[in-house]
Amino acid sequence: MKNIFTKLKRKLKSIPGKRGKRKGLSRFSIFSSSRNILNRKGRFQSGIKNMLSILLILLVIGSIIAWLSVTIYKVVSVDFEPDYRDKYVEKSQEWRGEGRLNILLVGLDRRESEYAFCDALIVIMIDPFDRSIGIFDINPDTLIYLQKYNKNIKLRNLYNFGILESEEIPVELLLEGVEDLISIKISRYVVVDEEGIMRIADTLGGVYVSNTSDLSDKDISDNGKNFSLGKGNFRLGGQDLLNFLRADDDGVESKFLRQIAGTEGLFKRSVSYSAILRLPNFWSLLSQEIRTNLSKKEIMRLGIMFGQYKDLKTAFMSIEAAEIREGESGLTVLPIFDELDQDIQRVFIDNRVGKEQARVEIFNSTNIRGLGNFRTRWLKNIGIDVIRVGDASPTLAKTTIYTREGGEYPNTIEAIDKSFDEEIEVLEGELPNFVCTGDVIVVLGANVED
């Protein structure tokens, strides 16, 4: 009987426990289901967010690809003013960033429609080896001798003279005149007028310049108001930038400094992030506003160089380098070459040549008087040490470079070669049949006469 009651008691005790267990299981099931629903809802929302993020990323990538496509199309399809492209520059002569490049920048003043005067002449030197850029400003009122026409003429008037003489590419006369003045080889040119400068500056969103002195010019007015600018750093739009470059009330040297500052500002602005975003419009405008013999590939390489340069060398034709005369045609500047060459060398000396420290001798084997001294100036202005100039005989058929030690002065020999127009023969480890003491001996030959 005890066992029966004990079993019955256990059964009765187990009933509430089972009910409680069931209730507990039921509650657990409800909570578990709720959590599952919430988890599924969270995963759904998270999936939507991920999809939106992916769509946004794809949209950004698509926009970049579209922008790049438009930009590449603009670069490929746009061409420069064909009348001023040098048709004789062969592909083998294209600048690929392997050596120095000198560019003549010509700023034209077209205020009188029938004439185009040169208001700014700047030589830009690009040196990819030490990643430096040089800017040299030349006085456009300088008088030069134009050998082709046997005429003395101001650089300011030379471009227009080329047009009147029906030159195929008028700016090439100007390039030759500047070369003869500064004895630096220049192979490229860029021509832009006042309207072009204003449009380029406006397209870039303005150009940053630093003004070192209070500036006021009563001869330049905008809507009847004289142009003035205080000291400080400014972002100038097209018209203000042009006025900044043209003002000359405070003297020609101050004007040169402003032109150098404006040129540097254009370089920096052209490779800024804002310019990159405007690249399709900027590239198209550039092709309309400049006339040049630079190829599109060369311009792109220059853009990369402008964005990476480490050193900026600047100089201008100082007052000490000129005798200034005033006449009926205005001021005329006569160069004093010893002083001028000191200004030139601040920009154009080649450090690679200087490091080799080669002692160079030049001998003239032709019947052209003064040719040795003429060539000497071209070499000294890039830093070559010419220790002696003399005559030699007999006449060589071709200009020849002799070196005592083969391969010891490669940069000096290359610099001499690029400074001369004629074809040059290089004989390493050989000497001419006359007494000489230099490390590199240059004998000018008959082919220079051409």
Residue 332's closest CA among 158, 119, 140, 117?
140
Report the pLDDT value the prediction gives residue 387, as an integer from 0 to 100. 96
Query: Where in the sequence of the chain do the CATH 3.30.70.2390 domains occur?
Result: 351-449
Q: How confident is the model at residue 410 (pLDDT cuts 50, 70, 90)?
A: very high
Tokens (6 digits) for 380: 């000294």
Cross-strand pairs, 424: 399
Report the pLDDT value the prediction gives residue 449, as an integer from 0 to 100. 64
Q: Examine the pLDDT at 7 and tell me if it is beyond 60.
A: no
Q: Examine the pLDDT at 176 and tell me if it is beyond 80.
A: yes
Report the pLDDT value the prediction gives residue 30, as an integer from 0 to 100. 55
Which has more confidence, 176 or 407? 176
Instruction: Report the top-level CATH class of 82-347.
Output: alpha beta
C-alpha distances (whole Å) from 296 to each of 76, 191, 292 are 9, 15, 10
Q: Examine the pLDDT at 2 and tell me if it is beyond 60.
A: no
Q: What are phi and psi of 177, to 5 degrees?
A: -65, -40
Q: What are phi and psi of 251, to 5 degrees?
A: 105, 155
Instruction: Name the least confident of 77-86, 129-138, 245-254.
Output: 77-86
Residue 121's closest CA among 215, 294, 245, 270?
245
Length of the chain: 450
Domain 351-449 has CATH 3.50.50.60: no
Tokens (6 digits) for 246: 């043209």
Q: Examine the pLDDT at 114 and tell me if it is beyond 90.
A: no
Q: How confident is the model at residue 309 (pLDDT cuts 50, 70, 90)?
A: confident
For the chain, the average pLDDT equals: 83
Which has more confidence, 272 or 444? 444
Residues 414/378, Cβ–Cβ less than 8 Å: no
User: What pTM was computed for the model?
Assistant: 0.81
Instruction: Name the least confident of 101-105, 222-226, 383-387.
Output: 222-226
Query: Where in the sequence of the chain do the CATH 3.40.630.190 domains occur?
Result: 82-347
